[in-house]
Structure 1
Amino acid sequence: MSRRQVGSGRRFVDSGNFPFASALHHKSRSSPLLSIGLVVLGALLLIAYAYGGPGLFRGNKDVSRIEGDYTCTAEVLRAIPILKKAYGDNMRKILHVGPDTCAVVSTLLKEEETEAWGLEPYDIEDADATCKNLVRRGLARVADIKFPLPYRAKSFSLVIVSDALDYLSPKYLNRTLPELARVASDGLVIFTGYPGQQRAKVAELSKFGRPVSVL
């Protein structure tokens, strides 16, 4: 998956092209209150961030997450041996839902007596040969998880979700969680990078009769 960074804007003040640069510079020399005001403004922003959390600047992180800059893929791969010990035979049929699903599925398929499928909630851009092969074999697909999943009930013993629920609205989160529980027969493991109010709703999965782990 390609990762594009949002380009920073040109610094007009540094280049001297900003028409009011000299005026601001003159004002800063003549008014020491301007420096104090900037310090106070910075302090207020830090306080707002501390109390508001990452969600205050969620817009920028939405872009970064979609482009693949912030994912839990590495954590998922490192957790596979731990999950195998915890779930034992229930690791035989696994569905991974999230970005970089081809990498996760490829790793899971290397485990003995393990079948794995992947569901990518975002478009797969610049997929490599391995990912294209998984798609051709029907082991990986792209689907919008805000709608019913294209699987029968209890199709998988374990469902692993990463970076797929963090930015769903409560409306779609309440639809997607039961769907994930529906296709899992033994367990549901959720990796989340930006905990918030949505995490509390995971506790409601108990009424669907599926154990859930949030990592």
Structure 2
Amino acid sequence: MRVLAFDTSTEYLSVALRVAGDTLSRDVKAAQQHSDWLLDFVHELLAEAGLALNQLDCIAFGQGPGTFTGLRIACGVAQGLAFGADLPVAPVCTLLALAAGSRADRVITCLDARMGELYHAAFLKAEAGWQTLVGPNLCAPEASPSVEGGHWTGVGSGFSVHHEALARRYAGQLVRVDGTMFPHAADIAALAEAQGPAAWIDPEQAAPFYLRDKVALKTSER
């Protein structure tokens, strides 16, 4: 299977090409310049693999949650490329991609959502694949949903920005924390491949997954 994937949901840009189980990738801390790098990375990886876009099986992208602009970029580029090459797309949850990238079996994922909040979810890896124990949600760090038991791994920028509040919230339950992790396209590609063609959709059906309906606080809310 041949899957192109990318994620622009955070300050990082990640692009990957998965071919027969092997993965080529590029990533960079792009700040707000994702659109300047994204297509260049796509062309580089296709050239390195000796493939044309229409030889792929699917285009996968980080659907969200994440930054508003970043999610629109990923979705728009995925749709444009897929329409041009007559390919399906595979939207993949960025929080699930974080969990997959942790290489752990019990994972709490937290991305910094700014305005004192987190994009949060919790996942369990089973033989049949990933199970969602706490679905993607927007919350304050101190009010993040509880999980049962111990041996949890915490990943994502939320654990860096709000480490004290999350350490208190999950005291005694976390065995490892990595606040530097971001959703990576290599994991998005692998998840899309695992979903299989039955779960892929037509490009016109693709849409970002937002958890928040505003991007900034009013002056009175600050």
After TM superposition, the score normalised by the length of structure 1 is: 0.28
After TM superposition, the score normalised by the length of structure 2 is: 0.27
Decide which structure has greater strand share.
Answer: 2
Where relative contact order (Cα < 8 A, 6+ residues apart) is larger, the structure is 2
Decide which structure has greater helix share.
Answer: 1
